Each structure stands twice: as structure tokens, then as C-alpha cells.
Amino acid sequence: MAAHPHFEQRNVSPNMKAKKSTMTISPVFIHQPKRHRWIPKQSPIAHYSNIAACRPIMARLAIVMFAAVAYHGQQHAQGGDAGALRLRSKTMFDEMSPWSGAIYQSASGVEMIRHGAFSPDNGRTWKPTPVSPDFDSGLPYGYRRSPHTPWRDPVNGNILVLLNCMDTPDKDPRAHEPRWQWYWYYLRYRVSTDGGRTWQFDEPIIQKGERFSAAHPIDGVHIGKNCYFLGDAGCRPIRTREGTVLVPVQMPPLDPSGEGFHNPGGGWYWLDSRVLIGRWTDDNHITWDVSQPIEGNGDRTARGLYEPTLAEMPDGKILCVMRGSNGGPRDQSHQWPSYKWLSVSSDGGHTWSEPAPWTYSDGEPFFSPASMSELFAHSNGRTYWIGNLSPANCQANHPRWPLVIGRVDPKTHGLIRESLLVIDTKQPDEEDVNLSHWHVFEDRLAGDIVIPMARAGKDYKSRHPVVYVIGVDP
């Protein structure tokens, strides 16, 4: 298969060539496996003039994808419909794309930033940029500062970084999801007014009001007894038309005694979703409030409702889509339906409707595993959802394939079945695959949706970096 005319591969090993023969060549990077680097050749403005050479492979890919979603009775958008989606490319690499965790630095231009790095050319090249000032180097052992992807306010241009933090002396700061996290996680935030070059401050998020403090940062949270924190990468802030900054978070609620965890579902843990509601001040700080909890039903989800993702609809309503789960001691045979859950706010995120299974726009529910998902607002004015769908009831976290993207109906708030596109799915020679934990952004030059992530093998024992590029009709 011929490569895109603006891009090529150099010094590619035979194994890499075998990989590339089964997929389109990414219009992004030249890859040199021997050096384990990403080598850019040209800007990713692609006009796909060589697409004819790719048609046989793309046709086979389309057949596989259609089979993966045939149980929904849907067909892929092939263009012609407003906002229709198509898979431009899927490319495997030896290392994670530097696009992972990257955002545009300002409202225009192609400069990008991510934690500790800067690109002047739409992600083609990167150079390290140490955090200034360095807030972390002098912290005691056991103190954890885990930054999420930066977020740029689309109106004032400020860069906001939220950090999951624990101040736990003598605890291993590298421990993955340790049991003590449920007692100590809290959030800090940093703000840059110069595109991420320097940072004004590093402060804990504390709800406004005299009764709140670092030990009691928001309603319902008492550090040392419970906590609050950001979930997966889909828990990104949004700015509303009203001018507020909404941050979706999650927390293990306390039981009525205030001394233990509330766990009506009986799973390994139980989490409620909440939304931080922020307003910028004149000195570029944020005053914080918090929404009422969005609580799950312990007879329908084993671990609560968590990893919330937000989007504002044209009528000003805020959608919150959350992860649920079946399984656990109360549902050992996984009989509870595996849904994503939807709650809607009509007052800017302060109060929320009773959560209900999220459905297609025609009202029919669909199955989705306990996995992250993301609502993504495109510059064409439409909102898309990225997540995992399943033809049958899932078993807790499994299966995390296929990975799909589709449009959200702004009137019904459902997922438009006819718009769904399968991005990737398990291949016949794979025992299992986990298609989760991605980053997503819109390529400012091409308007494409770009998803850098890793295809993880069974039990996450192997990870293979990949970049998907999805074309979007205006």
C-alpha cells in the first residue's frame, strides 16, 4: 500500500512493515524503531490524494467494522450527512504519541503544550519545558502530585491544570491505585496566564464558605475519612455559556455515622459523581462551589456512578454521562444490565436529574462495560461520544471493545445510532483487547478528531501505542 504523498517511513524493520501493511499510513509522523523516536516530516494537513491505493484495505476494514456493530442494525456514516464520521487512519507505533495529553496553547495558531513539553508546529516537534516554578521537587516522600491534561479556557485563554494529590508521608507515591487513596485524595489547581510558560500558583481546591478548609475541602469530604478526585481522562472541565468552569469529579461517600464508607451496591468500592462549579476572579484564581451528589441505585449498579464526563447542549442543559458496573457480591452472575448512566442539569450544574440508563436517541438502551467514556465538543457545533459498546450484557469491566464514536442528539440527549462509527475492535488473532484510556483533541488544521492511546492486551499485560484519525464532515 502506498503511503500518503506527504509522509513516508524510513528505516522500518520487517516486523514494522508487516504491521503497516494492514492499515493506512498515518499522515503525522515518520517512525524510526531503531531510535524509538517520533520523527516528523510535514504538517498533518492531509488531502488524501493517494486514497485510491488504500481502498482494498479500507474496504476489508469496513467489512470487519460493520460486522462488529451489525447487532445494532446500524450502518456507518459515509459522508453526506452533517457531522458524519469516517476513519481516516489507524497507525501503530513503538512509543506513545507525543500528542497524548496535548492541547493547543492559545485560541489560534498551531502551538501545543502538554505537561513538561512545548510544540511550535502542531505536534511535529517537541522540546522539554520545565514547570516554572517547580512546585513539586521539595515535597516530602510520599506526597503525590498527578496532573491531568491541561485545559485552556476558551474565553479568557487561561491554562488550568488540575492535580490528583495525596499528602501521605512514608507511602509509596508510585503505588497504582493503592487502598489508602480512598482516604487521602484531594484536588489542587494551577493557573497559567501566559500559555503554560509559567504558573501563578499551586493551591488546593476548597469550596467557598467559612466551614470549608484543607481538611474539609468540599461538602461531604473529610480528608483522612474519605476523599475526592478526578477519574479517567474523560473527566475534563468545560466552560458554560454562563461563564462558569465545571469540573466533573468523584468521591466515596461516608455512611450516616460519618466514620465508614457508604456502599449500597456491595462492590469493591462505591463512588458518587459531583461537579465542581468555578468562577474566575479578577486575579485569575477560581472560587469554587460544588453540586449535589449524583448517586447511583445500589440495586442496579455495584460500584456507584463515576468517571463523569460533561457537555453543554444548545439549550444550556448540561449532560453528565457516567460509568456504572454490574458484578460484585450482590450480582455474581452479572445479571444486572451494564449501562452508561445519564443525568441532566437545568441550572448550570448545581442540581441533577435522577440518573437513568443512557439510551440511543430512539429510547433504546445499549450495553457498555464499566469503562471510561467521553463527551467531546467539536468546532462544527456538535457533541460526540467516545466509548465502548457491546452486543450483549457485559461482565463488569469486560469487554472493552469495540471502541466507537457517535453524535449526541441535542434534543433527546441520546446517542444517535445511525451516526456510530467503530474506531477499532478485537481482531481474530487477539485473545482480548482493552480499548480504553485515551486522549482526544481536534486537529486545528484539518478538523479531524485525533485519538492517541494504547491498545492494551489481556489484563493490560501488554500495550501497543496507536493513533486514530477520524474525519468529520462540517
Cα-only R_g, the chain: 22
Dig out the grid coordinates for 61 from the structure: 476494514
As a whole number, mean pLDDT of residues 3-27 equals 30
> Tens digits of per-residue pLDDT, 68-83?
443 333 344 444 466 7
Hey, is 72 helix, strand or coil? Answer: helix
| Per-chain mean pLDDT for the chain | 86
306: burial class by Cβ within 10 Å (0-12, 13-18, 19+)? buried
> Tens digits of per-residue pLDDT, 98-121?
999 999 999 999 999 999 999 999
Task: Determine contact, residues 215/223, Cβ cutoff 8 Å.
Answer: yes
Q: Residue 197 half-sphere exposure, CB side, CA atoms within 13 Å?
A: 6
Single-letter code of the amino acid located at 160: L
pLDDT band for position 473 (50/70/90)? confident
As a whole number, mean pLDDT of residues 373-393 equals 97
83 in a structural domain: no
- 51, pLDDT greater than 60: no
pLDDT band for position 474 (50/70/90)? confident
| Closest to 146 in 3D by CA, of 109, 98, 178, 107 | 178
- 228, pLDDT greater than 80: yes
Which residues, 6 or more positions from 357, have their beta carbon under 8 angstroms from its beta carbon? 337, 339, 340, 341, 342, 365
Instruction: Please state the domain count of the chain.
Output: 1
Which residues, 6 or more positions from 174, have their beta carbon under 8 angstroms from its beta carbon? none
410: burial class by Cβ within 10 Å (0-12, 13-18, 19+)? middle
13 in a structural domain: no
pLDDT at res. 71: 36
345: burial class by Cβ within 10 Å (0-12, 13-18, 19+)? buried
Report the C-alpha gap between 314 and 155 in whole angstroms.
17
395 in a structural domain: no
Dig out the grid coordinates for 327 from the structure: 458484578
pLDDT at res. 345: 98
pLDDT band for position 11 (50/70/90)? very low
209 in a structural domain: yes
Hey, is 273 helix, strand or coil? Answer: strand
- 369, pLDDT greater than 80: yes
- Percent of the chain topping pLDDT 90: 81
Task: Determine contact, residues 143/169, Cβ cutoff 8 Å.
Answer: yes
Report the C-alpha gap between 170 and 185 in whole angstroms.
15
| pTM of the full structure | 0.86
- 45, pLDDT greater than 50: no
As a whole number, mean pLDDT of residues 362-379 equals 98
324 in a structural domain: no
Q: What are the beta bridge partners of residue 161?
A: 190
Q: What are the beta bridge partners of residue 455?
A: 464
Q: Which of 19-28, 75-84, 179-188, 203-212 has the lowest mean pLDDT?
A: 19-28
| Closest to 305 in 3D by CA, of 372, 245, 246 | 372
Dig out the grid coordinates for 237 from the structure: 472541565
Please work out, in degrees rounded to the nearest 5, the angle formed at the alpha carbon of residue 234 by the alpha carbons of 155 and 461: 145
148 in a structural domain: yes
The pairing of strands 117-119 and 112-114 is antiparallel
160 in a structural domain: yes
As a whole number, mean pLDDT of residues 21-44 equals 33
Q: Which of 40-44, 183-187, 273-277, 447-451 has the lowest mean pLDDT?
A: 40-44
pLDDT at res. 81: 66
- 186, pLDDT greater than 70: yes
443 in a structural domain: no
pLDDT at res. 218: 98
94: burial class by Cβ within 10 Å (0-12, 13-18, 19+)? middle
User: For residue 385, how far is the Cα from the chain centroid?
Assistant: 10
The pairing of strands 238-239 and 151-152 is unpaired
- Domain boundaries, position 191: 131-307+348-358
